[in-house]
Structure 1
Amino acid sequence: MDIKDTLLAAIEEAAKAAIADGVFPEAQLPNIILEVPPKKEMGDFATNFAMQSAKAFRMNPRKIAEEVTGRINGDWLEHVEIAGPGFINFFLKANVLYDGLKAIMDRGESFGQLPKKDMKPVQVEYVSANPTGPLHVGHGRGAAAGSALVNVMRAAGYPVTSEYYINDAGNQINNLALSVDHRYLELLGKATEDTFPENGYHGADIIDTAQRIIKKDGDKYLNMSEEERLNIFKELALKEKLAALKEDLAAFNCEFDVWYSERTLHPDKVKAAIEALQKNGKIYEEGGALWLKSTDYGDDKDRVVIRDNGVPTYLAADIAYHKDKFERGFGKLINIWGADHHGYICRVKAAMSALGYNADDLDVLLLQMVRLLRGGELVKLSKRTGQTVTLAELIEEVGTDAARYFFIMRSMDSQLDFDLDLAKSKSNENPVYYIQYAHARICSIFRQAEETGLKVTDGVELSLLKDETEIDIINKLQEYEEEIERAAAEYAPQRIARYAYELAGKFHSFYNQCRILGVDDKLAEARLALVTVTAHTIRHALGILGVSAPEKM
């Protein structure tokens, strides 16, 4: 148990003791919150527990604070102060701080990896863009945020599987085949632009696909029937687009455990899902179509799942897909969707409830829009194609590290203004550069220390670390695993981005204030120990974000 857990337990025990003594009435204790105060003179930790519990205990907060603090004691506590309307400020003994740092040092490379949780596996499904063209910057935000969420949940001990749902069935794939077919015919002089399919894809990548087909096979498909040609082009284009999509994601440090094909749902799993709903009395027929009684679960209207022509809707496939997820043994499903899917959440949750699952076991996170800015001006279109800026183009311009950090540093549910100029700048104003430079600086210190023979021994005297900047780093390091736990529980990987930035800032302040080499050997050793742990923590946090930690810059 670390010092924060010890302190939380002490507050809870003191409150329960006051209840047992009859000083406080029987009441449900609120969730106790501990924070590090903004100023050192306000203590090492502070809590607003007294204000939180004032209503439940029907008592003045300061009186609550007095009763609680009077029942707390421990060899780790220097003293306690009550401030303002009832804040409780805790001042820890100096050895507690150094013991905490020593415990982190003893953890070595395992610091930042929490114990495995005993629970059903969690599935995170994200990106899942139609394989009909290149990924754009919006998909990039989903890829960065989704993979960082998977990483932080794994660090927090959750059993997590990442999954990409390949939309390889339905009209979008038919339209892909039609688009490639038309470009193929057009390049061979057998079609014109004015007959391009109404719902076709106009991207330059479609022309590239058609050109590659011609380069490899020439005009051999001209003699086939349109149906035969479309079936061949559908498979060729799908295979090519999916391979390109996987390549872009790999270049973006985004890997998936499972690539799940929508085609595998048809027809058996879709049919089984509809039959299960019918068995539960949640499907009715009207106008020759089958309808889900989604209004029973809060939807604004019932939804068609099988059209009057017998063809399943997209919703039917999604119902079968989510049913299959639960049947695979996942206890929690997390989907990351674009904000334009907001209205779709209720109907999928309704279907899960209708199937007998707990709809609360499905969480849908909505990803807001990304606006690219260059020179303060909005960038809407690709310079290369005149269409939407692709993820590959963004990586080419600013690099994977900057792109990932900028995508993750804001909450998924907030609109993101992505400043291309800032992302490319090599200055402290660029947050990812600022963090990476801290790590590179520490690596430079390691190289210099090695040249002088300085190293950390088992007898390192951590109590020599007394400068305010050193204490700030130690306190920040001791927050790291709690940040991981909260980021995972709240689906908020941006917390790790912010933490890494703040830790880097504290290191830069220390670096400007304190020398490591050229001071007393024991102090130099203690400071080297401190920056060793700092480097690991920065590297670990950047790893969660999918960002590299360079040793030289």
Structure 2
Amino acid sequence: MIRQRLRNLLTKLYPDEDIVIDYVPKDKKGDYSTNLAFKIASRTGEKPETVAERIAKKVKDPLIADTIVYPPGFINFEISKKFLLDSLFEPLEINLGNGKKVLIEFVSVNPTGPINIVNARAAAIGDSLIRVLNKTGFKAEAEYYINDQGRQTDLLAISIRERINQLKGKKAKIPEDGYHGEYLIDLAREVDSKGISEVEEIRRFAVNHFINEHKNTLKNFGVEFDYWIRESDVYQKGLVDKVLKILNEKGLTYNKDNALFFRATQFGDTEDRVIITSQKRHTYLLPDIAYHLDKISRGYDQLINIWGPDHHGYIKRLIGGIIALGYTNDLIKIIIAQEVKLKRGGEYIKMSKRAGTFTSLDQLLAEIPKDVVRFFFLTRSCSQHLDFDLDLARKQSEDNPVYYVQYAYARIRSIIRFAREKGLELPETPELSLIDKEEEFDLLKSILRFPEVLEDVVRNLDPYPITYYLIDLARNFHYFYQKYRVVGDDRKLSGARLFLVNKTAQTISDGLNLIGVSCPERM
């Protein structure tokens, strides 16, 4: 990677500095930039521009064609054209993980209803991270945790029983905090037809129904998991009792008001947390800590959880539990995937799962193609709320960024087919010295930035830069294609341009594959 090579050059000169390399804005000369002079000047009292000039004189490498100092002290590096052209022959190989084992748990929807669009966004994020990590030298696996125990599944069973009563002409007395959505009516009819009447049997049947439904929905969304782990499995392994014993022996629990509390404040939480209620029911926290002990026992180097925005306050208590067991907090990273709001005709659509007024992933996929949904979910950082414009998503034009990127790929494939019809095959050793136009080099530089984009995704554990990169790459291709013919009378130049656009297509294909979006050969 060019950026890494520049970073290494500066690190050799200034080993104690934290070197940051950024891209140069298009209105400035150069390709990469560093603010190193400002950091040094803040300590020496010199002017940043003076320091920048001194640094610029020291940095020498065939990679660099020119070094430019911009007031008040930025150092810009222009990359050698020969180096850029030579780099086009190199395959994409990027090893950031060195075989590090990573487990990402995501979606993990309670088996009480269909997958909603916030969980669907987490699915797109998690699956893309798995793909990127495995592309960059990690051994990443996907896991789905099923909360098949506890009060929510009990409320589900009671709600279904009341729907059965309703089907028999009685009044449905669904608990206030139960599930009121009409999506349970068909399930209640099925349960009744099978003669299932006991609440525990209803709960077991309904949980399995929604687990299977979730698996099918996610498969249709292009997301598959290596492991599906049930909360009941964690109990059966004795891990909940094991965790409780450890916490008790360490003096990290106490009784108050007939409930058992975990001393979470000792680990940075705002208050101690109940782990066994006065009714002797386990809260979510106790089995969740036990579940993470199970994850750790499987030998992963890094645990990553992707949660919804309603779980933000849960982070410190879970990490506190892991630390209480004797592990370090850097073993686990928790990502919050923020809310998704659907818009139609400029208006937001209101959603509530328990009221049954939500849009499920199945409903969304019935209206919007999978490729578009996955791409749109990744057009904002995980930490940002996402407005999903249904009107834009339905457009099959270049206004829709998914089609804009896919069209660039399809256009290049069409160009390659046309070249073959003209008897021109992709050359193995093209004369890339014939590449000399500004638009050609803009496209070339964009291709070579792909590994750097993946490095950013891995560092921040957020795949959204891929969508913006692909849009920019497609834009650079379209700018080039509008101005120059690829296949012309000059066969050597045509061969060089074919090589360039084919690399573009390969990069688009790689990028779309990493976010689970297809590459149509024709559009």
Q: TM-score w.r.t. structure 1 length?
A: 0.89
Whether 2:56 is the aligned partner of 1:56: answer no
Q: Does the 8 Å contact 2:156/2:179 carry over to 1?
A: yes
Deviations 1:303-333 (CA, angstroms, capped at 9, x unpaired): 1112234322111111111222222222222
Equivalent position SS for 1:70: helix
User: Residue 102 of structure 1 aligns to a residue in which SS?
Assistant: coil
Cα distance, 1:50 vs structure 2: 1.1
Q: Which residue of 2 aligns with 1:115?
A: 95
Question: How far off is 1:277 after superposition?
Answer: 1.2
Separation in 1 of the partners of 2:257 and 2:176?
A: 29
Which of 379, 396, 399 does residue 429 from structure 1 map onto?
399
- Corresponding residue number in structure 1 for 2:4: 5
Query: Which residue of structure 1 lines up, in the alignment, with residue 133 of structure 2?
Result: 153
Contact 1:30 1:52 in 2 (8 A): no
In 1, distance between residues paired with 2:76 and 2:473? 23
Question: Does the alignment pair 1:94 with 2:81?
Answer: yes
Hey, what does 1:236 align to over in structure 2?
205
Structure-2 separation of matches of 1:239 and 1:548: 31
Match of 2:21 in 1: 33
2:411 corresponds, among 432, 441, 444, to 441
Q: Tell me the distance in 2 between the aligned counterparts of 1:200 and 1:93.
A: 65
Deviation at 1:504, TM superposition (A): 0.7
Flag structure 2 segments of 5+ consecutive residues without an equivalent. none
| Structure 1 residue 163 corresponds to structure 2 residue 137 | no
The separation in 1 between residues aligned to 2:481 and 2:244, in whole angstroms, is 64
Q: Can you list the C-alpha shifts for 1:142-175, whole angstroms capped at 9, x where unaligned?
A: 1112211222222222221211110111111112
CA contact (8 A) 2:19 2:34 kept: no
Structure 1 residues 258-267 or 412-421, which shifts more?
Answer: 258-267
The one-letter code of the counterpart of 1:85 is P
Whole-angstrom distance in 2 between the partners of 1:434 and 1:102: 26
Identity across the alignment (%): 38
Residues 133 and 203 of structure 1 are in contact (CA less than 8 Å); yes or no, is this contact kept in structure 2?
no
Residues of 2 paired with 1:416 and 1:3: CA distance? 32
SS across alignment from 2:228: strand
How far is the alpha carbon of 1:490 from its aligned partner?
0.3
Q: Give the distance between the partners of 2:105 and 2:142, measured in 1 at CA.
A: 6
1:83 aligns with 2:70: yes
| SS class of match (1:266) | helix
Query: Within the alignment, does 1:475 sit opposite 2:420 as a pair?
Result: no
2:291 corresponds to 1:303: no
Tell me by how many angstroms 1:272 deviates. 0.4
Q: Secondary structure at the match of 2:58?
A: coil
Alignment deviations for residues 114-135 of structure 1 (CA, whole Å, 9 cap, x no partner) = 2262364222111111111111
Question: Aligned runs of 1:222-233 on 2, under 5 Å?
Answer: 229-233=198-202
Give 1:94's aligned amino acid.
K
Is the aligned partner of 1:71 residue 2:41?
no
In structure 2, the CA distance between the partners of 1:124 and 1:503, relative to structure 1 (3 Å rule), is same
Comparing 308-317 with 421-430, greater Cα deviation is found at 308-317
> 1:532 pairs with 502, 509, 516, which one?
502
CA shift for structure 1 position 360: 2.7
Counterpart pick for 1:387 among 357, 380, 396? 357
Q: Which amino acid aligns with 1:296?
A: Q
Q: SS where residue 333 of structure 1 aligns?
A: strand
Find the aligned partners of 2:518 and 2:290 in 1 and give their Cα distance: 39
1:181 alignment counterpart: 161
Q: Please say if residues 24 and 76 of structure 2, whose CA atoms lie closer than 8 Å, have aligned partners that are also in contact.
A: no
Count of residues paired in the alignment: 520
Deviation at 1:530, TM superposition (A): 0.7
Q: In 2, distance between residues paired with 1:183 and 1:169? A: 21
Q: Distance in 1 between matches of 2:308 and 2:101?
A: 24
1:46 and 2:24 aligned: no
How far, CA to CA, are the matches of 1:73 and 1:56 in structure 2? 25
Decide whether aligned partners of structure 1 residues 301 and 375 sit closer, same or farther in structure 2, where only a CA change above 3 A counts.
Answer: same
Change (3 A) 1:49 1:214: same
Which residue, 493, 507, 513 being the options, matches 1:523?
493
Against the structure 1 CA distance between its residues 458 and 433, is the aligned structure 2 distance closer, same or farther, given a 3 Å change threshold? closer
Instruction: Report the Cα offset of residue 214 of structure 1.
Output: 4.5
Counterpart amino acid of residue 21 in structure 2? I
After superposition, the Cα gap between the structure-2 partners of 1:32 and 1:187, relative to the gap in structure 1 and judged at 3 Å, is closer
**Secondary structure at 1:135's aligned position in 2?**
coil
1:192 is aligned, of 155, 158, 171, to 171
Do 1:280 and 1:355's aligned partners in 2 also have CA atoms closer than 8 Å? Answer: no
1:391 is displaced (CA, Å) by 0.9
Cα RMSD (Å) of the superposition?
2.0
Distance 1:94 1:300, change over 3 A: closer
Instruction: Tell me the residue number matched to 2:423.
Output: 453
Q: Is the 8 A contact 2:430 2:496 kept in 1?
A: yes
CA contact (8 A) 1:3 1:100 kept: no
Q: How far apart are 1:381 and its partner, in Å?
A: 5.3
Residues 1:210 and 1:323: Cα distance change in structure 2 (over 3 Å) = same
